[in-house]
A and B are shown apart, each in its own frame.
Chain A
Amino acid sequence: MGPMPKALKALNVFTSLVFAVALYLVLFYAPREAVMGDVQRVFYFHVAAGWVGALAFLVTAVAGIFVLVRGDHRWDQLALASVEIGVVFTMINIVTGSIWARPVWNTWWTWDPRLVTASVMELIYLAYLMLRQGIEDPDRRARFAAVYGIVGFISVPLTFLSIRIFRTIHPVVVGNNDPTAQGTFDMTPKMKLAFFFSLFTFTFVYITLLWHRLRLQQFKERIEERKLRALTA
């Protein structure tokens, strides 16, 4: 655990470059949407942030299974790092959606099933972080957090599926659209490129952040160790 590994340095540079390209694609390359105008450009990062949120929580649930089966605390660190990133990106997802909804739906917020399930997901993982804070014994904390990460995650996709029986005004751009959705559009090939490139970029942002967060955790543990050693010496 010394200086930053070469692979991480390379990943930093790569992610920054890709992010710059994604910004260019989203802001300049993708055509202006005819009805909604420039505000539609929010869509690219909005969906990408939502994707990272879901991916992060999936990683947490899988890491949780490994914590329970293997009992290795490194999986617990991965679960924690992933939740923190997921919470931030879900928040970005909700906020960007709100910015888009103001001109298109004429409101910042509406009690649409899709919006509600996204905020419930955010609340579940905020509760996850509070659960961790409340338990001191690291071993027990890892187990409880793993259990909650799994229970929380199984309820998330089901909640998303359950909205299929509701009518929603949230557009589904990829796949079939609900006839009641408002603010939908069809993607042109250029838009598709910007869209998929954003997904790709955000996935790399996630991986980079995750790696940094894990290193931070390891540094923290080393400091704890040294403190203990200094105190006992």
Chain B
Amino acid sequence: MPDRAATQPAEAKRRPLREYLQAIGAVVWKDVQAEFRSRELLSAMLVFSLLVILIFNFALELDVRTRSTIASGVLWVTFAFAGTLGLNRSMAIEKDRGCLDGLLLAPVDRSALYFGKAVGNLIFMALVELIVLPVFSVLYNMNLFHPGLLLVVLLGSVGYVAVGTLLSTMAVHARTRDVLLPILLFPVTIPVLLAAVKASNGFLQALEMTDILPWLNLLIVYDVIFIAVAFMVFDYVVEE
């Protein structure tokens, strides 16, 4: 790509890591502050996740016996749906008001924008999860605050957001963008969701660590691969 050399000064390569992190921090801070002022993203995600939990309650008749075995599935479906909502909105805001073009003009490495957006999305998803987990615990009278489960929730969200940020950047440019993101995202993230459901289930059922470990490993492998690939190809997605 010849045009990249023009938009990025040569000394950008020699900049220390600190400035790169600062650029990421600036993007994250911008998202957090904008969200703090409007609160439209978080409130939509929260209300939506509570609705999903309620609907599952009717649909699956989550009584005491079935509850323990399918709780992890219900949790992850909720997180995945709420996550899509957040990802779509967070990128649509950038696109609609021309913010994305402004961000691209900034003299920072484009991958810093990716990591900034991804961390911002992760924060929103984590906030929603932090509220949904206790609500779920209270409504269904089961303790979800197991340190292992929290780790799985974090790892699963990282993998989901890593691909989600990349794909939502593509989806906002499409004609059918709101419909497109879940269609693009769900099949690709099925391995992450699957591993997360299985590992969460293991912790909730208090299985042996040897049964849970393969799923945790799988989750970590996917996280690393998804982040690496998204990091490599993000440049081409935002290129004009």
Contacts and interface: CB of A to CB of B under 8 A. Distances in A.
Contact of A150 (B184, B186, B233): B233
Given A127-B183, A150-B229, A158-B225, A134 B175 contact: yes
A58 to B, nearest CB: 16
A154 B174 contact: no
Contact of A147 (B166, B174, B175, B187): B166
Contact of B237 (A133, A147, A162): A147
A173 B33 CA distance: 58
B236 A146 contact: yes
Interface string A132-157: 01111000100110111011101100
Contacts of A154: 225, 229
Interface residues of A, number: 27
A144 B229 contact: no
B231 to A, nearest CB: 12
A62 interface: no
A21 interface: no
Contacts of B183: 127, 130
A131 interface: yes
Contacts, number: 75
B30 interface: no
Contacts of A134: 174-177, 180
Given A136-B175, A155-B191, A159-B190, A131 B184 contact: yes
Contacts of A150: 229, 233
A155 B195 CA distance: 13
Nearest to B184: A127
B220 interface: no
B-side binding surface: helix, strand, loop or mixed? helix
B170 A147 contact: yes
Interface string B163-183: 100110011011111001001
A11 interface: no
Contact of A155 (B177, B188, B230): B188
B218 interface: yes
Nearest to A145: B170
A26 B34 CA distance: 65
Given A143-B236, A147-B170, A151-B163, A127 B187 contact: yes
The 7 closest A-B pairs by CB, nearest first: A134-B174, A123-B187, A124-B187, A134-B176, A144-B170, A147-B233, A134-B175
Given A134-B174, A147-B166, A151-B226, 17 more contacts: A68-B233, A127-B183, A127-B184, A131-B170, A131-B184, A135-B174, A143-B236, A143-B239, A144-B170, A148-B167, A148-B184, A151-B163, A152-B187, A152-B188, A154-B229, A162-B195, A165-B218
Interface of B: 1, 163, 166-167, 170-171, 173-177, 180, 183-184, 186-188, 190-191, 195, 214, 218, 221-222, 225-226, 229-230, 233, 236-237, 239
